[in-house]
Amino acid sequence: MARPRKDTEKTVKKLCDALSLGATYELACRYASIGSSTLRTWRLQAEQTKPGSQARQLIARLEQAETTAALRWLGQIEQAAREGAWQASAWRLERRYPSDYGRQVVQHEGTVTLTQQPEWVALRSTILATLAPYPEVRAQLADLLTQAQEHRNGTGTGH
C-alpha cells in the first residue's frame, strides 16, 4: 500500500496560513505537520515542472502568502507614520534606501596605541592600586600590562 500524499489541500492551507502570518518556512512546516525537507523536495520538483502545473501552483500560493504578510506589515508601518510615529517613516527610509539613510558602520583598520597616554597611565595606576590587597594578582597583572605595552611599542621579546 502506498504512503498517503502529504500535499493535500489541508496541508497547503496550513502552510499558507502560517506564512501569511509571518512564520518562517520551518515553523510553517511544523504547523502543517510536515518536515521542512518535504517542502524543499516539493519546491525542487516544482522547478522542474511546466508553468501552471499543480506543483508550480503550490509554490505560487506559498509565495503569495509571504507577500500578503509583508504587504500587511508595510501597511501597518504606513498607518503608524500617518498617525505621527516618525519612527515608522525613519524605519522605511532606513530599509528602502540603506546607503542614504541606513546606519553607517565605520570599520577601523590599524592599531591604536594607548601607551604613554594620560588615560592609559591613569587606568593602569587605578587597576594596580585596586589590586594592592592581592599582591600575587597585582604582580601577574603588572607583568601582563608590561608585556602588552612592550608588544604595542614593538620592543617585546616575542614570548
For 10-50, the pLDDT digits (tens) are 999 999 999 999 999 999 999 999 999 999 999 999 999 99
For 96, the grid coordinates are 528602502
Alpha helices in the chain (DSSP H): 9-20, 25-31, 36-47, 54-82, 86-96, 98-101, 118-130, 135-153
Of 158 and 13, the structure prediction assigns the larger pLDDT to: 13
Q: pTM, whole model, 2 decimals?
A: 0.56
Q: Residue 11: helix, strand or coil by DSSP?
A: helix
**Cα–Cα distance for residue pair 4/1, rounded to 1 Å:** 9
